[in-house]
Structure 1
Amino acid sequence: MAAKKALRRTLLAARAQLGPDELEATAERLSTHVLALPQLSPGACVAAYVSSGSEPGTHVLLERLREAGVRVLLPVLLADDDLDWAEYAGADALVDGLRRTRHPSTQALGKDAVAEADVVLVPGVAVSTTGHRLGRGGGSYDRALARVEGAFVAVLLHPGEVGQRVPVEAHDQVVDAAITRDGVLPLG
């Protein structure tokens, strides 16, 4: 869809202008907001992802979740753009995956493992006020979110990426909230 491609291109160009200090501060604040979520009770499971480039950073968050005793599942990108899942065992246990992704070297748990999560944190490029998320265009997370029931689903974004007019297609899944360095914004 041309409108999605144009919006994605504009927002990714804006992200490219963010400096390392701003990205580091964003990663710190995101972790604080996520760890304060009421859905993160003792023994919770969180499905997250390994950020890259100018995405809102998840490296600090992943370590803090693990230190807090939260079970963390990370995606393993498959050749058909679907997602398998594996348990996070620390930054030293991440390996290179398809299309410049990083994933755990631990045993893959299957595509349906994401359904075990109490909280699902997804990447994105933008989100509308109704919770329609714009991703990178592969449909990986729309497929994964179709397997999730009852979990709190949030997209991690930079503040200017929230409240965008996101074109919607039939397969697009909605999210419950956006989390930025400024806090948690309920959607829908």
Structure 2
Amino acid sequence: MAAAAPTDTPSTGPDWPLAIYEALKSADVRQLCYVPDAGHARLIRLTHDDPAIATTVLTTEEEGVALGAGAWLGGQRAVLLMQSSGVGNCVNMFSLLASCRFPFLTFVTMRGEWAEFNPWQVPMGKATQSAFEIMGVTVFRMERPEDAGEIAAAAATLAFDSDQPIAVLISQRMIGAKKWTENK
């Protein structure tokens, strides 16, 4: 019997990754960093295909907080893409945002909520929003694909025009429940 592999069941409806990408382009985002994540795959592909956006693959999520701060100091806007399980890795680095009042924007695909099969994802999924808020990060929730462009644009404006740390949590229901299937 072959090993099991994860599959995604994406939501139907508007192309929300494209709506986020367009909002980031309108906000003049020039850098995007990420730890590879299936939930962000389409958005990552869109940015890789855009020569005006520099993409950086990270080894761990907290590197993205520092990259965003460095981009800002260098006159550019950056966005961090991560999964909810990576938020806990960043808590200490969030103090940089508060102490130096750097703008920060992250889009977080949620796990541990809608139809989660992996019990290891549940604790951080429950703690994600609170962890951000305890560290002074304003949290928006994206629950419906048709709201993606508006929420992304509002988050980018608040982050970059008001020097605020902002996290947009993308519902697991939007990215689709992961399922394990048998490879044959």
TM-score, normalised to structure 1, is: 0.44
TM-score, normalised to structure 2, is: 0.44
In terms of fraction of residues, the more helix-rich structure is: 2
